[in-house]
Structure 1
Amino acid sequence: MTYKGFSKLPTLLVGQSGGATAVINASLVGVIEVARDSGQFGRVLGARNGIEGLLAERFILLHDQEPELLQVIRVTPSAALGTGRHKLKEGDLDRALAIMRQHGITAFVYIGGNDSADTAHRLAIRAAETGQELRVAAVPKTIDNDLPETDHCPGYGSIARYLANAVRDATYDSIASPQLHAVKFVEVMGRDAGWVAASGVLGFLSDERDLEPLVLLPERPPADVEVVLAAVERDLQTRGWSVVVVPETLRTADGRHLGGNEPDYIDGFGHPYYPSTGAALTRLVSQRLEVRARYDKPGTAARMSISLASAVDQDEAYALGAGAVERIVAGESGIVTILRRTGDDPYACVVDAVPIERVANTVRRLPDAFIAGDGFGVTDAFRRYATPLLGPEPFPRYGRFDEGRQGM
């Protein structure tokens, strides 16, 4: 396979993997622009659908794309190269490296989450074992915000902004119409960590704290469904309505999935996808508490919507992609770029890097200091941590009539 613009300089390959976010393309453009401008690479290639594209030799030229197009790609939702969830088999490693040799690829940047870091790590190890020249860097991407070492992950600030607004709006709807659906569950992504669910409280301003929803967290699993029913019933008795943010993967303390114990699907990395937790709890509340209930499931719209994306998230995603190439040009390999917080007021982060093995196949859960004492909410420490990630002016101001000013 040949490409126009062939150069004797080496080639950098970049791919995207896992669930696409609102800002994964910002990281991609950071990689492309810094690699192109470095003068160290004759070509920048993109692998279609991640590692699957590498193994199938489905590449696209990126270094000669128009700057205007790249700026549009930077703010385009989902993954411009296409994404995938292919788990590298042992035999795939040698094939992948052979393809890289054939195309003169001496640098590889992989944008993704835990599993993508593992893929990059395995390729770096095999290249070192066989003496093949290959510098490898991973760029973090996950709305789950569950990667260790980094202060937070690109994609999280945007989904947090989206859900904080969505849960707040859903709450005002519940206040207005408890007779139509007194209980509302909002089912969110996040795998087995509570970062995404916790973001559901961030939209409530200081004069709205009395409206905050219940939040169910994987780190504080209920002993059984009776605990959830009791919390909802208390809400109904005190407020007349109840909004509950629930993770799609929520289990009881003894490991039973609240949506059902049989997964609908298991991906190539062994991650199970269970039936809807929100749907199951909605049915249970309707039957046991004899009130109307419903559930909302933002789903993939929350994961990669650009309409409420955080400007902070977009800028940091770009910086992490750019930083990965800068590290490669400096001679580093086997690293993942991360964010280190250097200030809270004003908020600031800098790009750093750590060895990939400190991130691959590891999950960071919501710490105890961020979880309210009753297990159904978050602390001010979490608000201080997460609110800057949402970007400037994330919430409009809403109004409520004074209940004390009743007409005659």
Structure 2
Amino acid sequence: MKVLYAQSGGVTSVINASAYGILDEAQKAGLEVYVGIHGISGVLKENLLKINGKSIDGLKYTPSAAFGSCRRKLKSQEDINKLFEIFEKYEIEYFFYNGGNDSMDTAWKLYTEAKKRNTPLKVIGVPKTIDNDLPYTDHCPGYGSAAKYVAIAIMEATLDLRSMYVDSTRVFVMEIMGRHAGWLVAAAGLGWLNGIGADIILFPEVPFNKEKFLDKVDETIRKKGYCSIAVSEGIRYPDGFFVADMGYTDSFGNRQLGGVGFTIAGMIRSELSLKTHVAIPDYLQRSGRHIASRTDIEEAEGVGRQAVKLALDGISGVMVTINRISDNPYKIEYSTIELNKVADKTKYLPEEFHKDFEVTEKYFKYAKPLIEGELFPEFKNGLPNYTIFKEVDG
């Protein structure tokens, strides 16, 4: 029996831990294992890599998509037919797709096609996204580590600002990923658990009110002398338009966003005449493996192993989910949800997790277990020794 695994969408610092869980569990079951290089795009080109016999232990400590990712939706029956020709050629019986909302749509289409063709192919979705916006799961692998990165980054930047504000920069703005849901930008408030975090958080769920925002900045400056701000790339005006719409769409059909940090900083400079500094962590927040959460790493591997167990039990057409049983002690269990209930759906930051420009105690209770613990990579020459598959290049 043969397995095909592929990675899709925006990467995380722990997606390869899921890959490790799937590939290791499948090989332990005696299966022949292939990976698609650059996701479904690579599979369509028959760009497959056989894993059996290769060293995969380092995957657990390596960020980003070790086998290459893609941003491609299945839009034509021609592509679907081509994929099933490849599945038949390589005798693939199990397909695991590791991704977010759009990736689950791809998995759902392949599952429904397999049923229509009455083939034995089993399709399982494996969740990952730093956005934490997949419904029917308490949280998503990738979020805890990205949240930890954001929390630490804003803490350290705010300490820098606090040191220099007297006759230098008064306002620091950090632009955080998150198109529709404010889960990741909310993490900028986690530093308050240890005494310092973002003074103002701008959530995409809350329509941006320029006057109210500037009043809050002015109030914070008068109170403290400085102000640190975390802004989601996806904030919108009350009419629904993005504050930082770049005017075109990506390959998934999403509006391309960018530069909201500079837009916000420009408002502050022009209206309040304050010196500002802007930082955009961008890829760093989703690939910061050096400070990844142990909880996140272990759960990422766990959903991968669970996916293989489900497939071997004959289950198909589902995504693995994480159910929280308790907060203290923190305890979870794995379950499933039908792929079509997740595909192209978004879970927003609940209103009870934020108020005005801050996160609430309920958010602290939710997020704290997800960022706890560390599992550092091996270091060599003073740097992380990450696993790199040469087959991904070229």
Whether the TM-score (by the shorter chain) exceeds 0.5 is yes
Deviation at 1:171, TM superposition (A): 1.0
Q: Which residue of 2 aligns with 1:237?
A: 222
**What is the identity, as a one-letter code, of the residue corresponding to 1:325?**
V
Asked if 1:315 corresponds to 2:306, the answer is no
After superposition, the C-alpha distances for 1:57-112 in whole angstroms (9 at most, x for unaligned) are 0000112223xxx2212111111110000111222111111111011011100000
1:38 to 29, 51, 59: 29
Q: Which residue of 2 aligns with 1:377?
A: 358
Deviation at 1:177, TM superposition (A): 1.2
After superposition, the C-alpha distances for 1:204-259 in whole angstroms (9 at most, x for unaligned) are 235x26x6421111111223x22222221111111111111001121112112222
Asked if 1:218 corresponds to 2:204, the answer is yes
Map residues 333-372 of structure 1 onto 2, 5 A cutoff: 333-372=316-355
1:382 alignment partner, SS class:
helix
Distance 1:393 1:357 in 2: 34
1:114 to 85, 96, 101: 101
After superposition, the C-alpha distances for 1:386-405 in whole angstroms (9 at most, x for unaligned) are 011002389xxxxxxxxxxx
Change (3 A) 1:393 1:55: closer
Q: Which residue of 2 aligns with 1:146?
A: 133
Q: Which residue of 2 aligns with 1:388?
A: 369
Deviation at 1:274, TM superposition (A): 2.1
After superposition, the C-alpha distances for 1:172-205 in whole angstroms (9 at most, x for unaligned) are 1111111311011110002210000000011223
Asked whether the 8 Å contact 2:154–2:198 carries over to 1, the reply is: no
2:231 alignment partner, SS class:
strand
Distance 2:284 2:258 in 1: 18
Map residues 145-184 of structure 1 onto 2, 5 A cutoff: 145-178=132-165, 179-184=167-172
Asked if 1:198 corresponds to 2:186, the answer is yes
Asked if 1:249 corresponds to 2:234, the answer is yes
Q: Which residue of 1 aligns with 2:249?
A: 266
Q: Which residue of 1 aligns with 2:268?
A: 285
Q: Which residue of 1 aligns with 2:38?
A: 49
Q: Which ranges of structure 1 fall in alignment gaps of 5 or more residues?
A: 1-9, 395-408
- Normalising by structure 1, report the TM-score: 0.89
Asked if 1:13 corresponds to 2:4, the answer is yes
Asked if 1:332 corresponds to 2:315, the answer is yes
Deviation at 1:275, TM superposition (A): 3.1
Distance 1:275 1:139 in 2: 28
Distance 1:100 1:344 in 2: 42
Deviation at 1:266, TM superposition (A): 1.7
After superposition, the C-alpha distances for 1:147-170 in whole angstroms (9 at most, x for unaligned) are 001110000000111111111111
Q: Which residue of 1 aligns with 2:381?
A: none
1:307 alignment partner, SS class:
helix
Distance 2:80 2:169 in 1: 53
After superposition, the C-alpha distances for 1:113-168 in whole angstroms (9 at most, x for unaligned) are 00000000000101111222210000000000000011100000001111111111
1:85 to 36, 58, 71: 71
Distance 1:393 1:128 in 2: 42
Distance 2:288 2:246 in 1: 30
1:341 alignment partner, SS class:
strand
Larger Rg: 1
Distance 1:201 1:393 in 2: 20
Distance 1:194 1:147 in 2: 13
Q: Which residue of 2 aligns with 1:28?
A: 19
Distance 1:363 1:281 in 2: 26
**What is the identity, as a one-letter code, of the residue corresponding to 1:351?**
Y
**What is the identity, as a one-letter code, of the residue corresponding to 2:239?**
D
**What is the identity, as a one-letter code, of the residue corresponding to 1:77?**
P
Distance 2:320 2:86 in 1: 25
1:200 alignment partner, SS class:
helix
Distance 1:47 1:370 in 2: 38
1:288 alignment partner, SS class:
helix
2:19 alignment partner, SS class:
helix
**What is the identity, as a one-letter code, of the residue corresponding to 2:14?**
V
Asked if 1:61 corresponds to 2:46, the answer is no
The sequence identity of aligned pairs, in percent, is 36
**What is the identity, as a one-letter code, of the residue corresponding to 1:141?**
K
After superposition, the C-alpha distances for 1:342-384 in whole angstroms (9 at most, x for unaligned) are 1111111111111111111100000011112xx1011101000
**What is the identity, as a one-letter code, of the residue corresponding to 1:98?**
E
2:217 alignment partner, SS class:
helix
Q: Which residue of 1 aligns with 2:378?
A: none
After superposition, the C-alpha distances for 1:2-56 in whole angstroms (9 at most, x for unaligned) are xxxxxxxx211000001111000000010001111113x2x10000000001100
Number of positions where the alignment pairs a residue of Structure 1 with one of Structure 2: 373
Q: Which runs of 4+ in 1 moved over 4 A?
A: none
Asked if 1:304 corresponds to 2:304, the answer is no
Q: Which residue of 1 aligns with 2:177?
A: 189
Deviation at 1:262, TM superposition (A): 4.0
CA RMSD of aligned residues (A): 1.4
2:112 to 125, 136, 140: 125
2:291 alignment partner, SS class:
coil
1:13 alignment partner, SS class:
strand
